[in-house]
């Protein structure tokens, strides 16, 4: 697909040499088996190759990205502030990344065509869910290096990034013979395709993102300016509205019983906690800015606090959450370098950017915008690899954050949608809840680890759905290639046998062979990714990681508020300092001081926390507590 406005990405000579050198090395040794520093350089080469080959627009033309004539910047406020609709992040292409724009693709669109009816239903997605998603009699498989806060965090982030438009038409999902589903059907709204703007859209439909594609905290601020206005206080303090006792819920969304916020789909206690925490953080940033700049207007306070809060989320995800999930030496180096550069955190805090433009030396923030040959958007494949429902356990064991005493063990099923606040009504505090999430395990991202309640989820539209089936069907519907083709298009090898796919696990290989009728080319990407052996320290597959490695940096490098306008004029001197010197631990302790002694020795809050002695005495498989 030709890009007429953004020039094709052309790696420099050193980058090309890196790609060729490590291409030869990786035929003998995979990147994750190299020593940490060399592996990190290998990742740089992989990212160059992925940027060159695996960023594609969802449109046939760039004209849809807007221009300064048809979409002028009429309010100068948004030259130095985020627009909730996502507009004007690019001043030249003001619609890029805004709500209502299409998802992009990681692969050329002709590889992502709409499936035939046979391809859509073969093999039966519900059967695949039953065989490879359902928890077996032994139950929950814990990820012993991650806590439940890590699971809540990624849903909190994905709610910022993407939400497909739904159609009025429905799938009537066929049930396999002998299925024990409690109803005679399972219905699911189809994804609504965008209008046909080009003949290629008939074979490969485009799908719109209702959220902004930018890393802009839209889950708490909203993806429309009108929504943001409703969520703010009526005072000129720049703050978001909370109840008198500092909780969400000064406004309730319709008749759902869920507090009004930027994005409330699939609401549960984990989202309630993190939404509350970052609304509190926004308001605290406003207080700090008001003290430093008493003459600022309410809008100026709000805009700057939002920039700081969004940058905090991006930084936490980059240098804290990701290294917890991908605990590999090369990733520790690589993710810190994304933010701080090879110069490192200490030197960057002390001296600022050493290199004006090099993201390698001084990190992406402040290095300048680059789209790498394609208009910025999140991609369908990015959505696909963030299907991580197996992170969720069946129950949560709650403890008192001060004494460590066990309070109760509650099924997560009893804390979803309008019931998300049940633990608070039972006497638990915000600190108690965070402490409990910190010492409960998340689930392993692997086969047969979807929580039972998500495979019979009663949704607010009065349907019952199996999210395992939904995950498989959504990828097929939206043209995400199957596992082997997905790997080929990423420049990876494709296994020729089921035994090769599973790393020699003969039992799993036979189960896959039977389910996919001995045709390895039809294995779904999600199932294949859950079945392949993981690199040491990895919480998810190397296949999914390839999408992550290119998009993790692209989300920062394409955003002018990170890559270009990372300065005191935009953020304020105080705001920049707040971002660079604040960690997730700082935020938790700021708003829940009771957690200070628990987190004193914690190096990463997304790893299991140290227990208070009385919590240690309590155990049991049924609680999922350590």
State the average pLDDT over residues 13-24: 95
Whole-number Å distance between alpha carbons of 593 and 16: 50
pLDDT tens for each residue of 297-333: 999 999 999 999 999 999 999 999 999 999 999 999 9
What tens digit of pLDDT does each residue of 83-131 get? 999 999 999 999 999 999 999 999 999 999 999 999 999 999 999 999 9
φ/ψ (deg, to 5) at 424: -65, -40
User: What average pLDDT is seen over the chain?
Assistant: 94
* CA 178 – CA 351 distance, rounded (Å): 67
Q: Is 159 a catalytic residue?
A: yes
For 557-615, how does the pLDDT look when each residue is reduced to its tens digit (9 = 90+)? 999 999 999 999 999 999 999 999 999 999 999 999 999 999 999 999 999 999 999 88
Is 389 assigned to a binding site? yes
**Nearest 5°: CA angle at 519, between 518 and 521?**
155
Pick from 377, 374, 378, 358: nearest CA to 366: 358
530 among known catalytic residues: no
Whether 374 has a pLDDT exceeding 50, the answer reads yes
Q: Give the dihedral sign, CA 612/614/617/618.
A: negative
Give Rg (Cα) of the chain. Answer: 24
Computed from CA positions of residues 25, 31, 35, 37, in that sequence, does the dihedral angle turn out positive or negative?
positive
Residue reference for tokens 């001060």: 402
Closest by alpha carbon to 149, among 588, 444, 442, 584? 442
Across 34-51, b (16+ Cβ under 10 Å) vs e yields beeeebbbbbbbbbbbbb
- Give residue 618's pLDDT: 57
Query: Out of 59, 386, 435, 483, which one is annotated catalytic?
Result: 386
Round to whole Å and give the CA distance between 65 and 42: 34
Supply 240's token pair: 């978001």
Over 543-598, what HEC string results?
HHHHHHHHHHHHHHHCCHHHHCCCCHHHHCHHHHHHHHCCCHHHHHHHHCHHHCCC
Residue 189: beta bridge partners? Answer: 170
Catalytic residue among 56, 159, 275, 591: 159
Task: Give the helix/strand (H/E) hosting 285.
Answer: helix 269-292
Tokens of 490: 């990423």
Contact 577, 117 (CB under 8 A): no
- pLDDT for 617: 67
pLDDT tier at 462, thresholds 50, 70, 90: confident
**Cα gap 344→333, rounded to integer Å:** 9
The sign one gets for the Cα dihedral 238, 154, 416, 465 is positive
């Amino acid at each position: 697909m030709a890009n007429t406005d953004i020039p094709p990405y052309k790696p420099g000579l050193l980058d090309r040499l890196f790609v060729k050198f490590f291409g030869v090395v990786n035929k003998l040794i995979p990147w994750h088996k190299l020593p940490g520093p060399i592996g990190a350089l290998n990742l740089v080469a992989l990212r160059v190759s992925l940027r060159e080959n695996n960023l594609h627009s969802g449109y046939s033309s760039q004209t849809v990205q807007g221009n300064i004539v048809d979409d002028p910047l009429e309010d100068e406020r948004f030259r130095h502030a985020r627009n909730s609709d996502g507009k004007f992040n690019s001043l030249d292409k003001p619609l890029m990344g805004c709500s209502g724009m299409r998802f992009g693709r990681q692969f050329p669109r002709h590889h992502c065509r709409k499936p035939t009816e046979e391809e859509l239903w073969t093999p039966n997605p519900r059967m695949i869910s039953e065989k490879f998603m359902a928890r077996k009699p032994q139950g929950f498989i814990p990820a012993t290096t991650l806590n439940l806060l890590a699971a809540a965090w990624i849903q909190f982030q994905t709610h910022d990034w993407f939400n497909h438009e739904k159609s009025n038409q429905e799938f009537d999902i066929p049930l396999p013979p002998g299925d024990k589903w409690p109803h005679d059907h399972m219905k699911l709204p189809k994804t609504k395709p965008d209008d046909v703007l080009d003949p290629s859209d008939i074979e490969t439909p485009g799908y719109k993102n209702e959220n902004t594609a930018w890393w802009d905290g839209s889950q708490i601020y909203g993806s429309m300016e009108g929504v943001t206005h409703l969520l703010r206080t009526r005072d000129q303090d720049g703050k978001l509205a909370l109840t008198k006792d500092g909780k969400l819920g000064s406004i309730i969304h319709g008749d759902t019983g869920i507090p009004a916020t930027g994005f409330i789909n699939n609401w549960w206690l984990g989202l309630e906690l993190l939404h509350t925490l970052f609304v509190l953080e926004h308001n605290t940033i406003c207080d700090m800015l008001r003290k430093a700049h008493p003459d600022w207007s309410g809008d100026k306070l709000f805009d700057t606090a939002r920039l700081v809060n969004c940058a905090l989320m991006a930084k936490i995800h980059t240098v804290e959450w990701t290294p917890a999930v991908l605990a590999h030496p090369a990733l520790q180096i690589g993710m810190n370098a994304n933010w701080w550069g090879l110069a490192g955190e200490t030197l960057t805090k002390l001296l600022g950017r050493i290199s004006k433009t090099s993201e390698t030396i001084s990190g992406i923030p402040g290095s300048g915008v680059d789209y790498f040959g394609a208009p910025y958007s999140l991609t369908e494949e990015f959505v696909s690899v963030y299907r991580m429902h197996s992170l969720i356990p069946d129950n949560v064991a709650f403890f008192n954050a001060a004494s460590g005493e066990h309070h109760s063990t509650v099924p997560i099923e009893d804390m979803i949608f309008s019931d998300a606040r049940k633990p608070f009504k039972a006497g638990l505090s915000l600190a108690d809840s965070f402490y409990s999430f910190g010492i409960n395990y998340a689930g392993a991202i692997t086969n047969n680890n979807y929580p039972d309640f998500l495979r019979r989820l009663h949704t607010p539209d009065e349907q019952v759905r199996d999210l395992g089936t939904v995950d498989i069907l959504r990828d097929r519907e939206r043209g995400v290639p199957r596992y082997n083709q997905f790997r080929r298009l990423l420049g990876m090898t494709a296994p020729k046998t089921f035994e090769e796919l599973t790393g020699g696990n003969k039992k799993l290989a036979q189960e896959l062979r039977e389910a996919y009728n001995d045709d390895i080319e039809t294995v779904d990407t999600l199932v294949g990714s859950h079945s392949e052996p993981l690199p040491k320290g990895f919480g998810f597959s190397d296949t999914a990681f390839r999408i992550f490695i290119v998009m993790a940096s692209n989300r920062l490098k394409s955003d002018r508020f990170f890559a270009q306008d990372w300065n005191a004029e935009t953020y304020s001197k105080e705001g920049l300092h707040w971002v660079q010197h604040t960690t997730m631990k700082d935020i938790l302790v700021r708003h829940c001081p009771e957690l200070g002694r628990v987190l004193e020795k914690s190096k990463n809050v997304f790893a299991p926390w140290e227990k208070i002695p009385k919590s240690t005495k309590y155990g049991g498989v049924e609680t999922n507590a350590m």
